[in-house]
Amino acid sequence: MKNTGSARQATTVSPGTKRSLRFLLSLVRSRFVLFAASVALSVLAEVAHGPGLAAALKLFTGAVLAGNPAQVAQAARAFVLMALVMALGMSLGSYALCRLSEDISSRLRTRILGRILRAPCPYLDSRTSSDVVSCITNDVESAKQAFAMLQQIVANVISLGISLTVLFSGSPAMALTVLAMALLCGLSGALFAGPVKRVSDVYQANLARITERATAIFTGLGVIKSLEKEAALARRFGELSNLQYRTGTRRGKILGTQESASNLAAEISSLLLFLVAGLMSFAGKITPGEAVGLAQLSSVVLWPLAYLGSEWANLHQSLAGLDRVINILEAPQENYSEDPGAGEPITSVQPDAAALSFEEVSFQYSPEKQVLRGVSFEVPAGHKAVIVGPSGSGKSTLARILLRFYDPQEGRVTLFGRDIRSIPLRRLRGAIALVPQDPWIFPGTVKENILFGNPHATVEDVIRASKAAQAHDFISGLPGGYNHVLEERGKNLSGGQKQRICLARALLKRAPVLFLDEPTAAVDAESERLINEAIGNLGHDRTVIVVSHTPEMKKGADLVFTVKDGRVAGFGTQE
């Protein structure tokens, strides 16, 4: 009973597989013309190799037995023609499939990144960055292989239909024998589809874990070296790598057994087909030439039919990566609906209203993690407010709620008198410039990094923002100045320099609200002084909110709020 259940499970199509196949077919529809061309060229090559070559063999065998040199030459020309058609069809078909597969994989990577960029923060918090990177690289590659496998199956089915039609017209008995043998061969391969899919799911998941672990190690090399943990981490990574090795070996065993079973069944079937053709020739039912041609055609038909089961199992192997791609493509998305009043400055909604107001806001990331408890405060337009408090008190969460990375469970937040939940996301976030605690620098020039805040700004605007951020002097001293190329994560800059470039980027945005989250948390004393000076020199044309745990940031503040244990514990001025 147990073996029967396993066989039934292996040959049935799971809901997840159906979903993956539907998605695969949607990719086909999106590039149907090129897909059809690649299939047609592959079919042309297979028909030349099957019925075409069988006809040439029949002609050649009959000519040799009849001792007719003219017919031998005719058969030779037929061989050359079939070889050329087969080569041309295979070459152009492979090129069309390669172009199509690369186009599909490129579009999938772009779609995945687009979905991730628009996904809400709670969803992003449930995934690791390396998991997404693994999906964009490894899983998309598996999806590309699944697409190529589907094209191969479709082409084989069509060419088999043509070859079987020719075979039935020549010898119905041979055709029925081929179908019987192929059915047995196909079942032997199809029985492996379920086990291959399951072990491939585990393989892809382990591959994502390896990427995640390697990324974590590379980003923390300095700490690892300082703690002398190279050997320990290498050992732990080796354990994960060995787990992947064992999974890959198990998958290889299943695939090897499947291939051996399919090959053995096909070889035995081919031998039987040649015996049937020989017996029919001895009985005088067909000529020797027809026997050779039918045997060749039967063999050509048998092998693709026999391997349809194996191809189906291999398709399941590639569907494991496609499943993970679909999961990300089905990620929830933030609402970026347009605002009917998008052209109107957000500050003019209620000119006399406070720039920012938190009203009895309570928030928790999870039931066990209450962060804010009835927080209320107000910052008038054009004022500088500093929010101080110990680490873990909920200060940084205020920025996440203001930008609607998260929505509070209780209370509301208004921006210039308007509930932020009623403001379309593009307009809301366009009104706020954020300088995060961890400065984000991407590979590119200094100018490109600053212009990211406002791509339409001029060079003069960039320099003006850099001077306001106390960054112009050190930028001018770099080789190439504003055209100096920054490395990944700004590794060729100090922490203070990176933070000042991020401040210049935020100032260039010209948003009415500037939010700085611990801008001096990881900089040296001189950089802290320069950043404080830059913030202090900002005029009253924008509202500035600074989150900090250092008393120095209070200087020049119009308002100071103290947050402790998720509540506003104090309020006043810098004095």
Kindly report, residue by residue over 496-508, the tens digit of the pLDDT.
Answer: 888 889 999 999 9
Lowest mean pLDDT among 327-336, 379-388, 547-556: 547-556
> What CA–CA distances, in Å, run from 530 to 467, 507, 536?
11, 15, 10
User: Residue 220: is its pLDDT beyond 70?
Assistant: no
Q: In CATH, what is the architecture of 21-329?
A: Up-down Bundle (1.20)
Task: State how far the Cα of 89 lies from the Cα of 97, in Å rounded to an integer.
Answer: 12
- The reported pLDDT for the residue numbered 359 is 93
What band does 47 get if pLDDT is binned at 50, 70 and 90? Answer: confident
Give the list of residues 6+ apart from residue 393 with CB closer than 8 angstroms, or none. 563, 564, 565, 566
Return the axis-axis angle of helices 288-329 and 230-282, rounded to nearest 10°.
Answer: 150
Q: Tell whether domain 347-572 is in CATH 3.40.50.300.
A: yes
Domain boundary assignment for the chain? 21-329, 347-572
Identify the H or E element spanning 356: strand 356-366
User: Residue 232: is its pLDDT beyond 50?
Assistant: yes
Identify the H or E element spanning 419: strand 418-419
Q: Is the dihedral of CA 195, 200, 205, 211 positive or negative?
A: positive
Give the list of residues 6+ apart from residue 567 with CB closer than 8 angstroms, or none. 372, 373, 374, 375
Task: State how far the Cα of 39 lies from the Cα of 47, in Å rounded to an integer.
Answer: 12
What band does 413 get if pLDDT is binned at 50, 70 and 90? Answer: very high
Helices (H), 119-192: 121-125, 129-134, 140-170, 172-190
**Same fold across 21-329 and 347-572:** no
- Report the greatest alpha carbon distance in the chain: 116
Which of 104-113, 155-164, 332-341 holds the top average pLDDT? 104-113
- The reported pLDDT for the residue numbered 228 is 65
The more confident residue out of 306 and 446 is: 446
Identify the H or E element spanning 363: strand 356-366
Q: Is the dihedral of CA 206, 208, 211, 214 positive or negative?
A: negative
Question: Stretch 393-400: mean pLDDT, rounded?
Answer: 86
Determine the length of the chain.
575
Question: Stretch 480-509: mean pLDDT, rounded?
Answer: 88
Task: State how far the Cα of 59 lies from the Cα of 51, in Å rounded to an integer.
Answer: 12
What band does 257 get if pLDDT is binned at 50, 70 and 90? Answer: confident
User: Residue 199: is its pLDDT beyond 90?
Assistant: no
The more confident residue out of 281 and 146 is: 146
What band does 188 get if pLDDT is binned at 50, 70 and 90? Answer: low
Buried b (16+ CB within 10 A) or exposed e, 482-517: bebebeeebeebebbbbbbbbbbbbbbbebbbbbbb
Task: State how far the Cα of 192 lies from the Cα of 173, in Å rounded to an integer.
Answer: 30
Q: CA-based Rg of the chain, rounded to a whole angstrom?
A: 34
- The reported pLDDT for the residue numbered 3 is 40
The more confident residue out of 320 and 73 is: 73
Question: Stretch 27-37: mean pLDDT, rounded?
Answer: 88
Task: State how far the Cα of 6 lies from the Cα of 200, in Å rounded to an integer.
Answer: 17
What integer best gives the mean pLDDT of the chain? 80
pLDDT digits (tens, 9 = 90+) for 119-175: 888 888 887 777 788 888 888 888 888 888 888 888 888 887 887 787 777 777 777
At residue 20, what are phi and psi to the nearest 5 degrees?
-65, -40
- The reported pLDDT for the residue numbered 11 is 44
Question: Stretch 69-83: mean pLDDT, rounded?
Answer: 83
Task: State how far the Cα of 438 lies from the Cα of 441, in Å rounded to an integer.
Answer: 10
223 SS3 class: helix
Question: Stretch 77-89: mean pLDDT, rounded?
Answer: 86
- The reported pLDDT for the residue numbered 463 is 92
HEC per residue, 465-524: HHHHCCCHHHHHCCCCHHHCEECHHHCCCCHHHHHHHHHHHHHHHCCCEEEEECCCCCCC
What band does 15 get if pLDDT is binned at 50, 70 and 90? Answer: low
Q: Which of 209, 204, 199 is nearest to 240 (CA)?
A: 209
What global pTM score does this model have? 0.71
CA 343, distance to chain mean position in Å, is 35
Structure tokens at 209: 């874990």
What band does 402 get if pLDDT is binned at 50, 70 and 90? Answer: very high
Query: At 497, which amino acid appears?
Result: Q
- The reported pLDDT for the residue numbered 22 is 87
- The reported pLDDT for the residue numbered 361 is 92
pLDDT digits (tens, 9 = 90+) for 519-541: 877 667 777 788 888 887 777 78
- The reported pLDDT for the residue numbered 346 is 62
67 SS3 class: coil
User: Residue 412: is its pLDDT beyond 90?
Assistant: yes
415 SS3 class: strand
The more confident residue out of 561 and 205 is: 561
CA 453, distance to chain mean position in Å, is 26
The residues pairing with 237 across neighbouring beta strands, listed in sequence order, are none
- The reported pLDDT for the residue numbered 362 is 92
Within 10 angstroms of residue 106's Cβ, the number of other Cβ atoms is 12
- Angle at alpha carbon of residue 509, lines to 504 and 513, rounded to 5°: 100
Task: State how far the Cα of 152 lies from the Cα of 144, in Å rounded to an integer.
Answer: 13
- The reported pLDDT for the residue numbered 74 is 85
Task: State how far the Cα of 117 lies from the Cα of 122, in Å rounded to an integer.
Answer: 13
> What CA–CA distances, in Å, run from 535 to 528, 532, 540, 559?
11, 5, 11, 14
Question: Stretch 253-261: mean pLDDT, rounded?
Answer: 75
Structure tokens at 5: 């259940």
Query: At 111, which amino acid appears?
Result: R
